[in-house]
């Protein structure tokens, strides 16, 4: 436990934006091949192309939950372009770092968010 930063522990204990958006504009689901954990991100995009709402459901370890919570906070209010620039490293950094054996957990967050955005862009293109 001691190897987790206070920020990780805080987000794990009190995760932000947990849940599902029923009429989401985009949904992105990824699985972690290392451990089999799953993460799903839901986004709402407003007329200005900003992420007005971001929610997630994570079936995973504590680090994965903290990562999802942090990604949702980082992405909310950002434009699509800005949100696409959020990297795995940014997330780990914002969390005050992750133990080396937990870095793979941080990959899920940015990937799931980007997938939700791609889903939105794809749907929009088809409209
Ligand atoms: Fe599975 Fe962390 S152990 S995401």
CATH, residue 56 = 3.90.1010.10
In the prediction, which pLDDT does 126 show? 56
Q: What is the mean pLDDT of the chain?
A: 93
Q: Rounded to the nearest whole angstrom, what is the distance from the C-alpha of residue 66 to the centroid of ligand 1?
A: 11
Helix (H, G, I), strand (E, B) or coil at 28: strand
Segment 55-58 long-range contacts (CB within 8 Å, at least 24 positions apart): 55/17, 55/18, 55/19, 55/20, 55/21, 55/24, 56/17, 56/18, 56/19, 56/112, 57/18, 57/19, 57/20, 58/108
In the prediction, which pLDDT does 33 show? 84
Q: Rounded to the nearest whole angstrom, what is the distance from the C-alpha of residue 62 to the centroid of ligand 1?
A: 8
In the prediction, which pLDDT does 125 show? 86
pTM here?
0.93
In the prediction, which pLDDT does 32 show? 87
Domain membership flag for residue 107:
yes
Q: Is the dihedral of CA 47, 48, 52, 58 positive or negative?
A: positive
Domain membership flag for residue 126:
no
Q: Rounded to the nearest whole angstrom, what is the distance from the C-alpha of residue 48 to the centroid of ligand 1?
A: 35
Domain membership flag for residue 99:
yes
Domain membership flag for residue 108:
yes
Domain membership flag for residue 50:
yes
Residues with CB under 6 A from ligand 1: 32, 35, 37, 60-61, 63-64, 105, 108
In the prediction, which pLDDT does 95 show? 95
Looking at the structure of the chain, the number of domains it has is 1
Query: Nearest C-alpha to atom 3 of ligand 1 is from which residue?
Result: 61
In the prediction, which pLDDT does 29 show? 97
Domain membership flag for residue 43:
yes
Domain membership flag for residue 82:
yes
In the prediction, which pLDDT does 105 show? 87
Domain that holds residue 79: 6-120
**pLDDT under 70 in the chain at which residues?**
1-2, 126-127
Domain membership flag for residue 92:
yes
């Amino acid at each position: 436990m001691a190897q987790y930063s206070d920020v990780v522990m805080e987000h794990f204990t009190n995760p932000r934006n947990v849940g599902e958006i029923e009429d989401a504009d985009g949904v992105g689901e990824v699985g972690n091949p290392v451990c089999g954990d799953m993460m799903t991100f839901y986004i709402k995009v407003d007329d200005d192309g900003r992420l007005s709402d971001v929610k997630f459901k994570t079936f995973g370890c504590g680090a994965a939950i903290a990562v999802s919570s942090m990604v949702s906070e980082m992405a909310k209010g950002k434009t699509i372009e800005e949100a696409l620039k959020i990297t795995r490293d940014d997330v780990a950094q914002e969390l005050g770092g992750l133990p080396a054996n937990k870095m793979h957990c941080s990959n899920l967050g940015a990937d799931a968010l980007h997938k939700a955005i791609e889903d939105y862009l794809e749907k929009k293109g088809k409209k």
